[in-house]
Every structure is written in C-alpha cells, then in structure tokens.
Structure 1
Amino acid sequence: MLSFPVVSKSNPLRRCGTAVACALLLAACQPQADKAAAPADGATAAAGEVTLYTTREPGLVQPLLDTFSGQSGIKVNTVFVRDGLTERLRAEGERSPADVLMTVDSGNLLELVEAGQTQPVDSAVLDAAIPQHLRGADGQWFALSLRDRVLYARKDLPLQSFAYEDLAKPEWKGRVCIRSGQHPYNTSLFAAMIAHNGAGATEQWLRGVKANLARKAAGGDREVARDILGGICDIGIANAYYVGRMKSSEEGSEQRQWGDAIKVIRPVFASAADGGTHVNISGAAVAKFSPNRDNAVKLLEFLVSDEAQSLYAKANYEYPVKAGVALDPIVAGFGEMKVDPLPLTEVARHRRQASEMVDRVGFDL
C-alpha cells in the first residue's frame, strides 16, 4: 500500500500543487511497485545459478565446477557439508536452496534417496553414459566416478591375480593388513560378499580373514602400503585411488616410498559367474526441492561428459564411470577393470547385516 506525505503549509510540495505532487510521488514509487508485483519465479530469478551441496572436499571438485561454469555461464554455488547432509535437508525443507547433492559412498547417496530428499531425473545423456547397475532405476541417483577396492601386494610377490575369497586361505595367515571392518569401504565390500555368497559363508570367510591378519584391523588404506613396506604384511585390501596419490607424491617422500613398494591387483568375486571387482562410488542426485532443476540436470550431464570424466580421473585418480574415457597413466598401469555387475542397491541392502557381522566375529578387536 502506497503512503503519501501530508500536504501542509510547511510542505514544499504544496507550492507545486497537490495534484502535481501526487503525480511525482507516484512516478517515483512506480519502479518499486512493479518490482513488488513481479512474479516470484525462482527459476527465472536464478537462471544462471545452481547450488551444490557436497560432502566431497571442495578442492577435489572445483576444477570440474570451474570448467562447467566457463562453458555454460551457470554459476555454481558450492556448500560443503561435512556431516549431517540428510538432517540439514530435512530442516530446510521446501526452503532449501540445494539443487544438486553430491556424496562419496553409495550408502550415503542411497540414504538421501530413502529419506525422500531426491527427485527422479529422466536424461538420455545420463542413461547412455552410466551403466544401469550404477544408477537408480528411476533416475533418483547417479554414480559419477568409481573407487575400486583392490589388493595391495608386495612388489616382488609372485602374484598376478586374486579373488576376494582368497583372503581367508590359510596360506595368508599373518600376512594380511586392512583398516577397520566398520569403515564404510569395508562394510560395503563385506555386504557385496553377503550378496554373492550368503550370510553363513561370508561370516565363515570373515573369521578366516581375521585369523590371517598381521596386525589389528585399523589405520587407513595408505597404512596398508606403509606396513607392506615395513615388512609387517605382504598383502592388504584398500582403495586404488590412494596409490595414485602416493605414487604422485614428491620423490623421496614417505608416501612415495609406500606407493613404490606395492603393486595393485584387482580382485574379483570367484563365486560369481560374471565376477568383477567391487567398487564404491562418488555420486550425485537432484535435490527434492531444487529451485533450479534444469541447471541441476545440466550439471549432472556435464559431469559424465568425456572432459569431466577425464578431469575426475586426473584430479583424484578415480576410475571414470563412463566407458572409453582416457585414464590417468598411474591408474592405467593397474590394468583393465571389470566392474562387479551387482547393483549397488543390492549391496546397500546388506550393509547393516555386514556391520553386525563385523562386531559378532570381533573383527576389529
């Protein structure tokens, strides 16, 4: 509602006449009135923006986002959320500015879907680039890069192939290193083992792996390489991309020595007819209340382009989700990878069971 000043003897506008004064005031107020009456269309107001909520370290994805912005003209607002992404989205509700949700670990991504914080996307570009078992059947989530769970082996060990089931064989007693069984990387692997071999066989296998440990299940993946160099163990399970980081470290540094002491073998599930290597993912989804949905889909489609997939491989030594993309030379040196075709949703279904099994066998004790 417009409000006008009182026209009095002391008011200089009186000298111009009441009608003229009102006309001037109306003209002055007109831009504000038009603005207030303009439609509150979020997509129009922010046509050149997209907001990304990510649990990934910003430095790892920033080169990708900068390239996307440079090519599309769409500004990416990045919000780094270390913990509690689902809880934050629930608290924000329909007011949330989030357009794209990016996480590491399939469990975290599927948790967002199960919590109702994502929406389906129908994109021929995404469907063509990402294998079916690495995306939601209804387009609720998409893998963007792969993190293969591989075998680190002493460099001079006469070993060329390996099956995950082999970790429990008596010949490896006192020779295996691994991080905590409760770490998501390992509960995901154990869940895949349950899906392939059943709970009973997996528990027996897990007890066998525990019996073969050279030390307590602890530390991180890079510590597996460190302890192989130190002669504590001969083999261990860890993520491949850490080897890229270690081997690209400064010459003579500790991590470079750890990386140079090992070779990478991609295990498979021997019990599976089409057995492949277990992978975890980094992935993304469009947020349920995305105010810039079209831009969100554009960002996802860019992230599976050849250029972006190549940047993924070079920035963090992760394996591209899209076939035919050039690999980083270090990653290429690990040889060809056949990905376990087991749907990630099936793996996620057994993760709680795997976690309970870790405690039951005292794997971390």
Structure 2
Amino acid sequence: MSLLKRSLVLAVLMLAPTTLAQPSGELVIYSGRSEPLIVPVIRLFEQQTGIKVTLQSGTATALANLILQEQPNPRADVFIANDAGTLEFLKLKDALQPYLSEQIRKIPEHFRARDGSWLGVSGRSRVIMYNTKLLKPEELPKSVFELTAPTWKDKIAMATTRNESVIAWVTALRLVKGDEFTKDYLLKLKANGVVTLNGHTDVRKAVGRGEFPLGLVNHYYYHLELRDGSPVGVIYPDQGPTDIGVFVNAAGAAIVKNAKHLREAQRFLDFLASPEAQKLFAELNFEYPLLPGVPVAPGVRPLETLKLMPVRLDELGKELEKTLKLLDEVGLG
C-alpha cells in the first residue's frame, strides 16, 4: 500500500458515505472546503440553473481516496479540493474527466491543468502574519528562510504538516530548492522550536492573541484575524530580486471520471469560472479571484503585484508521496 493511502485510510473509514440518489437534474459534489465558504456558491448555482446539489463534505485527502475507491462507479460528479496538488494526484490516477470550455480557458493556464482535468477557482498565497504589538516593522523577516535564525526561536506557529496547504508549500520548496535543501530547512525550523497547531485558524488566533509573534498561514487568515479586530500585520516573503517569490496555490474543482451527471458537472465548472462565482470567492474569504478583471476584496494585495514562486501547480501531484515521505522523516508534527 502506498504512503498516501496508508496516511489516509483511517480518515476515509470515518467518512461513512451515505447512499446518494442521483435523478436527472441533480449534481453530487464531494468537497474538502469549509462549508461556509462553498455553500453560498452552490446555492447561487442552484438558483441560476435549477439543478439540485447534494453536498458531501470532508477532508480533501480522504475524499480523494474515496473517489479512487468508488471508481469505476462513482457517487460524486464533482470534486472540490483545497489545493491543486490533491487534484493533480487524482488526475495521475486517471480519476478525473477533462473539460475545457471557452469560459474555463479564461482562467490563466498557470491555475488549471493543461489538459483540462481540473480548474483552479480561487488563489491563496503563503505569507507570514505577525502581531503588531510584539514586533516593530524594522524587526520583521523578509524571507521564510530567515525563520531558522536564533532570533525566532520558539516564536513561530504553523499548521500541522498533515495540512494540504502545508504539504503543497513543502512540495513547491522541493521543486525550487531541491530535496536536500528543503529537508535541511525543515529540520532547522524544528530545531528552532516552531510549534505546529491543528490548523491555520488556530495559528491566526494564536498570533492574534499574542501567543506567538509570527505565524505561517495562507494570506486570507491574516485578513480574517484583522477583521476580528486583532493587532496583526502581514509579510509577503521572498520578494527581492534574487528571492524565490511567494508560493500561490489554488483551491479547485474537477469532474470525476464516469460522473453520472456530466452535463450538470460541466455547467457547474463553467459557473465556478464565471464573474459571479469568482466575486463570491473574493468576498467570502479574501481569496484571489482567478478570472482576470474580477477585483480582490478591499485591503487584499492584488495577485499581479506579487513575485510568484516559479512552480506550475500541475507539477505538484506527482510529487505528493515524495513530500509525505520527507515530512515523515523530518517529524515536524
């Protein structure tokens, strides 16, 4: 059994899938996204099309493994994931149905599979958030690689390395800096006392309360904590001329191979790439809309102003198991 399957089997067993009726005009979606972030989008789709959606939520990695188990007779028509790596992994397992429409082609190629197997629907950058009462502007790090310095010992929080966004970030580091460098970097972070918490919400709240001066998060967690009234700021790291840039990942969606409601699934993916849905993603969670011309939420730094890490998102999936193995060797938590 592969490393990925060993790591996911318990989570899959806890999903307890139910039998889902699939008459004409319905759509079954498996979603790894938090329901408050995706349900408003689904409701708008239902209102506009009259198609009834059945939603099954869970962790993205467990649902991905469930899709593999259910082939060639899947329950799900569409899969929504928190990151491109999970989608690309399913593509490599031949579990997705490519679809490239005129609307989907409007999303920049960097944020979708080249063969149409999956579509990025919203973006998120990996940033460092900080507590403004604990740190002065002149004290702030400018690179994630500065976080191994003695200055930051026991002062950094991050989400568990089981988190999809963390796994994707580590994979991107491997692709840009190599396995040896990345493993050494993570070991130095561990030795410097970085604390891993259950999730990014825990990290942003801990930084907001002043329990840690710094936290590694997706950019929208900073905005959520700022909206809650906490004294926090944000650093977009590695933006210098010789720096690697900030990693920008995408939450995305795909049609499951052998989907029973292919037409409805195609309509849903076209809808996700529409201005209406893209605007909702920006407003609900401060994420980057990926359709050109749709504005970011007020206060969010526009994506086009960032220096991006030179990694194609459709390169992440094939590296997933190697990243999991490296993280297991590091034992960061």
Contact 1:161/1:266 (CA < 8 Å) preserved in 2?
no
Following the alignment from structure 1 to structure 2, what is the Cα–Cα distance between the partners of residues 77 and 223?
A: 31
* 1:308 matched to 2:277: yes
Higher RCO, 1 vs 2 (CA within 8 Å, ≥6 residues apart)? 2
2:204–2:221 Cα contact (<8 Å) kept: no
Q: Is 1:268–2:248 an aligned residue pair?
A: no
Query: What's the RMSD between the two structures over aligned residues?
Result: 3.0
Corresponding position of 1:126: 104
The 1:293/1:268 distance shift into structure 2, 3 A limit, reads farther
CA distance in 1, matches of 2:254, 2:146: 36
Match in the other structure for 1:175: 155
Note closer, same or farther for the CA distance 1:109–1:76 as it changes in structure 2 (3 Å cut): farther
- How far off is 1:197 after superposition? 0.8
1:355 maps to which residue? Answer: 324
Using a 3 Å threshold, how does the CA distance of structure 1 residues 232 and 64 change in structure 2: closer, same or farther?
Answer: closer
1:98 maps onto 2:76 in alignment: yes
Give the alignment of 1:317-328 within 5 angstroms. 317-328=286-297
Deviation (angstroms), 1:161: 7.0
Asked if the contact 1:150/1:239 (under 8 Å) is kept, the reply is yes
Q: Normalised by the size of structure 2, how large is the TM-score?
A: 0.79
**Which stretch of the first structure deviates more once superposed, 315-324 or 88-97?**
88-97
Displacement of 1:108 after TM fit?
2.5
Q: TM-score, structure 1 length as denominator?
A: 0.73
Deviates more, 1:346-355 or 1:319-328: 346-355
Gap regions ≥5 residues in structure 1: 1-42, 250-255
**Residues 39-50 of structure 1 aligned to structure 2 (within 5 Å):** 46=24, 48-50=25-27
Measured against aligned partners, the alpha-carbon deviations of 1:301-337 in whole angstroms (never above 9, x if no partner) come to: 1111122111011112222122331222243499944
Pairing partner for 1:289 from 234, 258, 262: 258
Per-residue CA distance 1:185-230 (angstroms, 9 max, x = gap): 22221211111111111122222222333x5323432333444455
| Residue 139 (structure 1) aligned with residue 116 (structure 2) | yes
Aligned residues between the structures? 307
Query: How do 1:69-84 and structure 2 match up within 5 A?
Result: 69-73=46-50, 75-82=51-58, 84=62
The CA deviation at 1:91 is: 5.1
Larger Rg computed on CA atoms: 1
In the alignment, what sits opposite 1:236? Answer: 215
1:116 partner SS:
coil
Residues 329-338 or 315-324, more deviating: 329-338
